[in-house]
């Protein structure tokens, strides 16, 4: 009978030397492929002499799990005494060397993390592991404050007082991000959803991010907005239009259309607890299927729709002929837009065979007279330009390179087979003809590829004239007037600024992760960074825009504040002066005690000996 396994063995740390390095590891026995027992070592840190330095694998464990480890008595565990689960009550004694580090911008972001409660939510998600939360906060602040990649975090920590006390080397960061799982993401989103008010307005939008590598599964070719020969990935972020911060995120393959991703987003939002929210989406999410999904889910929404949709075009045709504005439309004097609203009766059949009727489904139509006039003018100029180009090609009897053009009356016998060479004229492909001269139908000989004639595409030009200057939106379960819907939808412009901030200020324009394990962790860290940056930008835009030209100048102004630390003494923060106090007032934060400009004397007044003098009382002798 084999000897029973000691349960403490799985947590007994030993020194394991390999390739000249000494690691603190746990020895475990596993069954190999040949059926024999094989010893394996799992490293949790390194040994320098007898001093134990923990790795991210050890720091990422909950406090209860770390308490189970058994250390040899001769090891120096002084670094572990600084962990949150090993510190006693009272003020900790600083056993580090004297330091004078930059702290002001980090102090501001730490106050924002407390105000938005993102730090509190992270501590709940990671089971009270404050070291893990501190590392995530440091990584979230670093690219926003420095515009560098994570390879310089360890150097940055030497000059600033970052939230994390342990050096974050590239290897440590990789192991830390790989320890973050999908469970952490879903729990964090649920906590953020619980902090939303009732009937919040949330904007849904996506942005593409180019990628250097191609090892991730979501890396796909798409329409690269930067026109670079790089694969890309699609990042979806949901922002609240009242609290001005992100509440949800997800990634999709780079070739995924927005309209195809909405079903997954709706399911995610409901699972996370986003029940009483209204979603605002742009025309990229417009499709008949998505509108029916909204109706079946009972989701309040405002969706910008393409005016080329059949139900929109039918309503515009009902206006008939008019000069500048249809008589059925009203005009807003402030924006000078013509608007019209109508109810839409719509029923959808669900999977169980039941019928659900749309709740307050309304179509909002708008007409910009100036935009309509400019569109019709550009149409006239474009028709003339394309006609002249086609006449030149017809005169030179140009030969098309492929048969991309379509002509139901194509000549299969090749009457024009004896066409002469065009004398070096540039040959045009059929697909290029359709793109450059899209308002005309081009006819050519199939055998010789020589253009024979062309005519105006009456259907396309009539549609362009009909829809010129119009734009539209659809609301569901919202009691918005047409102009209320217009002004609420314009709030989405702020989300585009946040995407610009994410790509520029937070150095997230490129995807720099090559492993699926680390990808989830890096997305969570970027989400935390977006929460901090969105709050800074919102306060700057509403209160400090006249004093600072950008939100980054706020951080630059605070950066020079330093934190001075000496062994055995409490830390000292340098005073807040000038604009730094105005920044604190705008954010609603109190400067640290002793750092503000108000000083109250602490002099102790000496009391005179003897009985105090009685108060004088006036007596009326009349």
Per-10-residue mean pLDDT for the chain, 622 residues long?
58 86 82 72 85 82 81 85 64 64 96 96 92 95 93 93 90 90 94 89 91 83 78 92 90 92 93 92 92 92 94 93 90 95 90 86 96 95 94 84 42 36 41 81 85 91 95 95 94 85 87 86 95 94 93 95 85 92 95 80 70 67 56
Could you tell me if residue 28 is inside a domain? yes
Question: Which is nearest to 578 in space by CA: 99, 102, 103, 104?
Answer: 104
Residue ending a domain, choose from 47, 82, 117:
82
Instruction: Provide the pLDDT for residue 517.
Output: 84
CB atoms within 10 A of CB 498: 22
Question: Which is nearest to 339 in space by CA: 375, 315, 309?
Answer: 315
Instruction: Provide the pLDDT for residue 404.
Output: 39
Q: Are strands 510-511 and 277-281 parallel, antiparallel or unpaired?
A: unpaired
Could you tell me if residue 443 is inside a domain? yes
Could you tell me if residue 590 is inside a domain? no
Instruction: Provide the pLDDT for residue 85.
Output: 63
Instruction: Provide the pLDDT for residue 620.
Output: 59
Could you tell me if residue 528 is inside a domain? no
Count the domains in the chain: 2
Instruction: Provide the pLDDT for residue 270.
Output: 92
Residues 245-255: tens digit of each pLDDT: 899 999 999 88
State the Cα–Cα distance between residues 187 and 180, nearest whole angstrom: 12
Instruction: Provide the pLDDT for residue 412.
Output: 41
Instruction: Provide the pLDDT for residue 407.
Output: 42
State the Cα–Cα distance between residues 10 and 68, nearest whole angstrom: 9
Could you tell me if residue 380 is inside a domain? yes
Does an H or E element contain 13, and which? strand 13-18
Instruction: Provide the pLDDT for residue 599.
Output: 67
Could you tell me if residue 47 is inside a domain? yes
Read off the pTM: 0.82
Could you tell me if residue 454 is inside a domain? yes
Q: Where are the beta strands (DSSP E) in 105-212?
A: 200-211
Q: Are 61 and 126 in contact (CB under 8 A)?
A: no
Residues 590-612: tens digit of each pLDDT: 999 888 877 666 677 666 677 77
Cα distances from 312 to residues 295, 460, 482, in angstroms, run 18, 16, 15
- Domain assignment of residue 383, given as a range: 372-413+426-466
Could you tell me if residue 563 is inside a domain? no
């Amino acid at each position: 009978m084999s000897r029973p396994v000691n349960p403490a063995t799985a947590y007994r740390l030993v020194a394991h030397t390999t390739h000249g390095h000494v690691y603190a590891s746990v020895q475990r026995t596993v069954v190999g492929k040949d059926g024999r027992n094989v010893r394996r070592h799992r490293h949790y840190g390194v040994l320098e002499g007898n001093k134990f330095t923990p790795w991210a694998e050890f720091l990422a464990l909950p406090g209860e799990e770390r308490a189970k480890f058994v250390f040899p008595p001769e090891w120096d565990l002084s670094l572990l005494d600084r962990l949150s689960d090993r510190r006693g009550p009272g003020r900790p004694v600083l056993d580090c060397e004297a330091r004078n580090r930059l702290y002001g911008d980090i102090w501001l972001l730490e106050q924002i993390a407390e105000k938005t409660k993102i730090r509190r939510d992270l501590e709940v998600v990671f089971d009270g592991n404050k070291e893990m939360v501190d590392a995530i906060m440091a990584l979230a602040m670093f690219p926003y404050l420095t515009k560098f990649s994570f390879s310089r975090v360890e150097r940055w920590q030497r000059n600033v007082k970052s939230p994390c006390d342990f050096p974050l080397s590239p290897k440590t960061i990789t192991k830390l991000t790989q320890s973050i799982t999908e469970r952490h993401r879903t729990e964090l989103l649920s906590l953020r959803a619980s902090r939303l008010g009732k009937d919040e307005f949330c904007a849904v939008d996506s942005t593409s991010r180019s990628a250097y590598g191609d090892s991730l599964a979501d890396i796909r070719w798409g329409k690269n907005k930067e026109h670079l020969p790089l694969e890309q990935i699609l990042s979806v972020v949901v922002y609240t239009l009242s609290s001005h911060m992100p509440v949800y995120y997800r990634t999709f393959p780079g070739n995924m259309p927005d309209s195809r991703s909405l079903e997954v987003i709706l399911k995610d939002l409901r699972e996370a607890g986003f029940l009483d929210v209204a979603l605002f989406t742009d025309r990229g999410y417009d499709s008949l299927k998505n509108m029916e999904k909204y109706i079946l889910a009972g989701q309040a929404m405002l969706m910008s729709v393409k005016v080329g949709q059949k139900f929109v075009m039918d309503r515009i045709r009902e206006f008939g002929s008019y000069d500048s504005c249809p008589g059925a439309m009203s005009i807003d004097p402030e924006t000078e837009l013509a608007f019209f609203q109508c109810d839409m009766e719509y029923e959808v059949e669900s999977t169980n065979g039941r019928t659900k009727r749309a709740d307050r489904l309304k179509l909002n139509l708008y007409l910009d007279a100036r935009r309509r006039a400019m569109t019709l003018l550009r149409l006239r100029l474009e028709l003339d330009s394309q006609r002249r180009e086609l006449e030149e090609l017809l005169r030179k009897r140009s030969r098309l390179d492929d048969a991309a053009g379509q002509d139901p009356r194509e000549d299969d016998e090749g009457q024009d087979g004896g066409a002469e060479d065009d004398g070096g004229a540039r040959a045009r492909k059929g697909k290029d003809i359709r793109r450059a001269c899209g308002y005309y139908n081009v006819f050519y000989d199939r055998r010789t590829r020589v253009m024979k004639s062309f005519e105006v595409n009456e259907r396309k030009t009539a549609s362009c004239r009909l829809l010129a200057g119009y734009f539209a939106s659809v609301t569901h379960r919202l009691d918005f007037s047409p102009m209320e819907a217009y002004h609420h939808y314009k709030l989405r412009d702020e989300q585009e600024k946040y995407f610009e901030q994410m790509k520029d200020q937070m150095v997230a324009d490129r995807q720099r992760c090559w492993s699926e394990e680390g990808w989830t962790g890096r997305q969570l860290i970027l989400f935390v960074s977006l929460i901090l940056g969105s709050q800074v930008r919102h306060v700057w835009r509403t209160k400090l825009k006249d004093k600072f030209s950008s939100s980054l100048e706020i951080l630059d102004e605070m950066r020079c504040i330093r934190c001075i630390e000496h062994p055995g003494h409490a830390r000292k923060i340098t005073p807040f002066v000038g604009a730094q106090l105005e920044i604190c007032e705008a954010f609603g934060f109190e400067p640290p005690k002793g750092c503000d400009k108000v000083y109250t004397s602490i002099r102790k007044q000496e009391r005179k000996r003897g009985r105090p003098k009685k108060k004088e009382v006036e007596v009326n002798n009349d």
